[in-house]
């Protein structure tokens, strides 16, 4: 499997999209705003913008040279890859502007945060469609959309919660963890539905090499199982934290859950690219 740059790209961008939408959602739930909102959201917005930029670098490494991206943009409207590159650029620019306003003007703009998140949602659609329109049978399936949107809704909220954690205490952090837990359940459910649909279709899939997908996945069945165990373990940690009745929150558990989700999504994407090889 040689698509490590794409693996980084297709995890970092959906995670950033889910993260900024989660931060926007939390701002709607906050009792106060103004200066307190800036103190709470400035660092998380900067980190999420950096995460999006990391995803962009992953895309550049895949293309080989940045100039190739410029050539690809010329196909906007005709090529889904071109659409993906342009919309990704729009999302990253919007995320950086949102973070920049928090730093320079000391101002949080919830509307801009929402617009950035919605551009990201469109970006994920372009990203998934760039795979479904290919002739690779393992990707030419509705499950591809479930895979990428599942990452946004499962990994994004825990990214947002882990970034907010150092700036919150008591009931506030508990509420954030509960919302992250709820959204992560939705994300995992989306992935499970897509996986169930795909498993019913997999006997009919023939990979590029001519081997059936069912046979190609046999060596990776253990990895697939471990992936789900790790992701469920991360979800259990979030559940434990959300049910915590103590005044003191164990932040190590939050970051452990984040690591579990990152590992699980990385393994999932690895298998996704193996299927298309």
CATH number at residue 84: 1.20.1630.10
pTM > 0.75: yes
pLDDT digits (tens, 9 = 90+) for 23-53: 999 988 775 555 577 888 999 999 999 999 9
> How many independent structural domains does the chain possess?
1
Q: What is the 3-state secondary structure (H, E, C) of the chain?
A: CCCHHHHHHHHHHHHHHHHHHHHHHHHHHCCCCCHHHHHHHHHHHHHHHHHHHHHHHHHHHHHCCHHHHHHHHCCCCCCHHHHHHHHHHHHHHHHHHHHHHHHHCCCCCHHHHHHHHHHHHHHHHHHHHHHHCCCCCCCCCCHHHHHHHHHHHHHHHHHHHHHHHHHCCHHHHHHHHHHHHHHHHHHHHHHHHHHHHHHHHHHHCECCCCCEHHHHHHHHHHHHHHHHHHHHHHHHHHHHHHCCCCCCCCHHHHHHHHHHHHHHHHHHHHHHHHHCC
Domain range spanning residue 200?
4-275
pLDDT digits (tens, 9 = 90+) for 176-218: 999 999 999 999 999 999 888 877 666 666 555 556 666 667 7
**pLDDT at 264 (0 to 100):** 95
**pLDDT at 78 (0 to 100):** 66
Under the banding of pLDDT at 50, 70 and 90, the label for residue 150 is: very high
pLDDT digits (tens, 9 = 90+) for 109-128: 899 999 999 999 999 999 99
């Amino acid at each position: 499997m040689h698509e490590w740059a794409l693996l980084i790209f297709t995890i970092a961008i959906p995670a950033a999209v889910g993260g900024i939408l989660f931060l926007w959602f939390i701002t709607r739930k906050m009792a106060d705003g103004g200066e307190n909102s800036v103190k709470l959201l400035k660092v998380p917005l900067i980190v999420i913008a950096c995460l999006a930029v990391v995803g962009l670098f992953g895309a550049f490494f895949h293309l080989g040279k940045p100039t190739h991206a410029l050539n690809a943009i010329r196909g906007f409207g005709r090529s889904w890859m071109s659409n993906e590159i342009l919309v990704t650029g729009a999302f990253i620019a919007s995320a950086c502007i949102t973070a920049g306003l928090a730093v320079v003007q000391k101002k949080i703009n919830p509307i801009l945060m929402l617009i950035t998140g919605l551009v990201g949602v469109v970006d994920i659609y372009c990203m998934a469609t760039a795979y479904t329109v290919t002739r690779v049978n393992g990707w030419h399936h509705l499950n591809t959309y479930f895979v990428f949107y599942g990452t946004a809704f499962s990994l994004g909220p825990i990214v947002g919660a882990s970034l907010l954690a150092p700036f919150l205490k008591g009931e506030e952090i508990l509420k954030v963890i509960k919302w992250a837990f709820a959204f992560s359940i939705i994300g995992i459910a989306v992935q499970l539905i897509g996986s169930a649909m795909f498993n019913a279709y997999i006997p009919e899939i023939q990979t590029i090499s001519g081997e059936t997908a069912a046979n190609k996945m046999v060596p990776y069945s253990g990895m697939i199982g471990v992936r789900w165990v790790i992701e469920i373990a991360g979800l259990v940690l979030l559940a434990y934290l959300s049910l915590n009745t103590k005044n003191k929150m164990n932040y190590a558990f939050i970051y452990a859950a984040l690591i579990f989700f990152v590992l699980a999504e990385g393994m999932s994407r690895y298998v996704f690219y193996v299927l298309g090889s």
